[in-house]
Amino acid sequence: MKKRIPALFAALLAAALLLPAALRAQEGLEYQNPSVVIPVDLSGTFNRFNLAIPAFQPLGSGGTGEADRWNRRLGLNLDMTGYFLLLDPRASLEPDPRAGLFEEVPMDYGPWAQIGANFVIKGAVQSSSSKTTMELRLFDVATGAQKLAKRYTGPTKEARQMINRFTNEVILAVTGEPGVFGSKIIFQSGNSVMMTELGSDEAFGISGGGFGISFPTLGRGNRTAWIRRGKRACELVVDGKTIYSGDLVIAPAFRPDGVVAAGFSGPVSTNIALFEGGRPRVITHGGGIEISPTFSPDGAQMAYVSDQGGSAGIYVSSGSGGAGTRISPGGKSTDPSWSPKGDKIAYVVRERDIAVVGAGGGGYAQLTGGQGVNRHPSFSPDGRMIVFSSTRGGKSQLYVMAANGDRQQPLIPEFAGPQTLPTWSPDMPEQ
């Protein structure tokens, strides 16, 4: 895909050039020209859009507060998606930084075209200790038109959510699908279960700590589950309540219908079992070790780890169990995660790198390599990003990347504790 709009779109875009160069931003108001929405497929290589985000301007007579912080956060968000290549806005010779933000100064696209920008985002901020107002606009340089205008007003403590919402709007305007900033990610830090959001710098505990807590996961409706190991029994905790106590249980996952599945250790083997009340119901019978279930978006199929072929591999069976078929190439394979798009399964190869394979086998691609130990991938709710843990920085941290392996970077680098076993919620954030 080329970075600029190809010539065949010229006729469709001609009408757009007649639209006003500036549009007054109002609460919830959005202008979008659907003729310039470009489908982006993150499964392969593509050219990113060049994006400039100049410094936010003062809005009214109030102070800008943390305007620079939110300018940087917006840039980090959009860079993280893999859709954009951020340009240095200082390279532009734009004569008035207020251009496009205020009616008396119309947007001047020429200086931005000269530095190769496809899009420009401009913002104006008025902030105090209690209240923040932002006006944020997306300009399409190729068409010479404003593509998006939003105004957000609310408590200053919610300014980050404003930036995340606008990030999602930009992604929708450019790709035709909404972004997932603000969606939740659960992970383990020591003996605590933590929660963070895409687009956040912080995390908070939800388990209260305790010995032996592990394998946290999220289901639809942001339901939670994890394992708690005591001195005498292993407990499966779902939505804060113990629903099973007894033999070893490992790596739970929610089926789309809300039923919890997990590896369950019996007298002679470990199999996948469903926990629907009472004694766990075993649904695989490979005879060895079968753990780490993950389900297709419709729940019709289940992928899991099995060593029935002699070494651990990724197998796929019916969502209700039964015999499975290996889909991963040779070599030890663990930690599967089914994409919400239904087409791919991410997993760990050779106990250190992330790879993907087609849900029916084939289409293998390795996404990480030569950078520490990378484990436990989990897809974003739109299937376009992956969160995983990595030791490449000297300690275990959460990283995110595009679903094709592009733009690998720390998720919450300021969080000091260990970060392992992430799972991304299947729920899209509120838009």
Q: Tens digits of per-residue pLDDT, 70-89?
A: 999 999 999 999 899 999 99
Q: What is the domain-level CATH number for residue 395? A: 2.120.10.30
Report CA dihedral (199, 60, 86, 76) to the nearest 10 degrees: -10
The answer to whether 143 and 38 are in contact (CB under 8 A) is no
What CATH number is attached to the domain comprising 149? Answer: 3.40.50.10070
Q: Of 136, 154, 175, which one is at a domain's C-terminal end? A: 175
Would you say residue 400 lies in a domain?
Answer: yes
330, with CB counted inside 10 A (0-12, 13-18, 19+), is exposed
- Same domain? For 259 and 405 the reply is yes
End position of a domain, from candidates 175, 192, 208: 175
Q: Are 145 and 106 in contact (CB under 8 A)?
A: no
Domain count, the chain: 2
Query: Same structural domain for residues 142 and 287?
Result: no
Residue 76 lies in a domain: yes
- Burial status of residue 31 (CB atoms within 10 A of its CB: 0-12, 13-18, 19 or more): middle
Can you tell me the distance from the alpha carbon of 425 to that of 155, in angstroms, rounded to the nearest whole number?
26
Same domain for 127 and 231, yes or no, is: no
User: 29 and 119 share a domain?
Assistant: yes
Has residue 160 been placed in a domain?
Answer: yes
State which of 117, 151, 175 marks the end of a domain: 175
Has residue 1 been placed in a domain? no
Residue 210 lies in a domain: yes
Pair 120, 192 in one domain:
no
Q: What is the pLDDT of residue 425?
A: 97
Output the CA–CA distances (angstroms, integers) from residue 130 to 100, 135, 150, 203, in the order listed.
Answer: 27, 17, 20, 22
Check whether residue 35 and residue 67 sit in a common domain.
Answer: yes
In a domain, 111, yes or no: yes
| 215 & 297 share domain | yes
The answer on 277 and 197 residing in a single domain is yes
Stated pTM of the model: 0.86
- Computed over its alpha carbons, how large is the radius of gyration of the chain? 24
Q: Are residues 311 and 399 in the same domain?
A: yes
For residues 33 and 145, state if they share a domain.
Answer: yes
Check residue 226 and give its pLDDT: 95
Please give the helix or strand (H or E) that residue 113 lies within, else none: helix 110-114
Q: Are 83 and 77 a contacting pair, CB within 8 Å?
A: no
Q: Is 2 contained in some domain?
A: no
How many Å apart are CA 63 and CA 148, to the nearest integer? 25
The encoded tokens of residue 17 equal 């050039």
The confidence score (pLDDT) of residue 48 equals 84
Specify whether 218 is located in the same domain as 158. no
pLDDT value at residue 208: 63
431 in any annotated domain: no
Domain range for 272: 184-424
Residuewise pLDDT in 10s, the chain (431 residues)? 333 333 322 322 232 222 233 333 333 333 333 334 445 555 554 568 999 999 999 987 655 668 899 999 999 999 999 899 999 999 999 999 999 998 889 999 999 999 999 999 999 998 888 899 999 999 999 999 999 999 999 999 999 999 999 999 999 999 999 999 999 999 999 989 999 999 998 999 998 656 688 999 999 999 999 999 877 789 999 999 999 999 899 999 999 999 999 999 977 889 999 998 778 999 998 878 999 999 999 999 999 999 987 889 999 999 999 999 999 997 899 999 999 999 999 999 999 999 999 999 999 999 999 999 999 999 999 999 999 999 999 999 999 999 999 999 999 999 999 999 999 999 999 87
Distances from the Cα of 372 to the Cα of 354, 385, 418, angstroms:
11, 20, 15
Tell me, yes or no, whether 413 and 370 share the same domain: yes
